[in-house]
Amino acid sequence: MKKLIDVYVYRMNSGTPEFLLLLRSKNKIYANQWRMVGGKVQQGETYWEAALREVKEELNIVPDEFWVIPSVNTFYEAKTDQLHSIPAFAASFPADAPIELDEEHTEYRWVTVDQIESMIAWPEQKRLILLTKHILEHNQILPEWRIELS
């Protein structure tokens, strides 16, 4: 069974989080869908190590802050008959951080939660973005959720 991760990349703009959405390439799984950073855990990696690696690979940047979102993206995939429970992570960047997309994506946009309804199709991804916004706006990132980047 494949192990997957999701990373919700954000930046703060006047106290309001904006989330980075990536448009998937037409020749990749989830073609032409707006999504967050995501990927598979490789042999010998922890979930958080895979999440950090995927951010670096897909955006060519290292986050300022990296933490576990205290929830999971859960869905059933009929094609493989698998129930997925995907750990979710959050990664922050400065407002002016340069983004360099890999070949998996053709475009990116910084969006507010008001814009996700029309861009994100997956209900669990919408829920996790809203949860992340709530945590950020209420300054509720617990120390146990933070992952130190050295």
Could you tell me where the beta strands, DSSP code E, fall in 36-120? Answer: 37-40, 65-77, 82-92, 105-111
Residues 47, 33: Cα–Cα separation, whole Å: 24
Mean pLDDT by 10 residues, the chain (150 residues): 93 94 87 91 97 95 95 93 96 90 92 94 95 97 94
- Tell me the one-letter amino acid at 150: S
Token digits of residue 94: 């400065």
Return the pLDDT at 145: 98
Return the pLDDT at 64: 93
CB 17 within 8 Å of CB 136: yes
Return the pLDDT at 96: 86
> What domains are defined for the chain?
4-145 (3.90.79.10)
Token digits of residue 130: 């809203």
CA-based angle 100:43:121, to the nearest 5?
50
3-state DSSP call for residue 126?
A: helix
Return the pLDDT at 25: 86
- Adjacent-strand bridge partners of 67: 90, 146
Return the pLDDT at 29: 78
Candidates 29, 126, 144, 40; CA nearest to 87 is 40
Residues 108, 121: Cα–Cα separation, whole Å: 16
Return the pLDDT at 126: 96
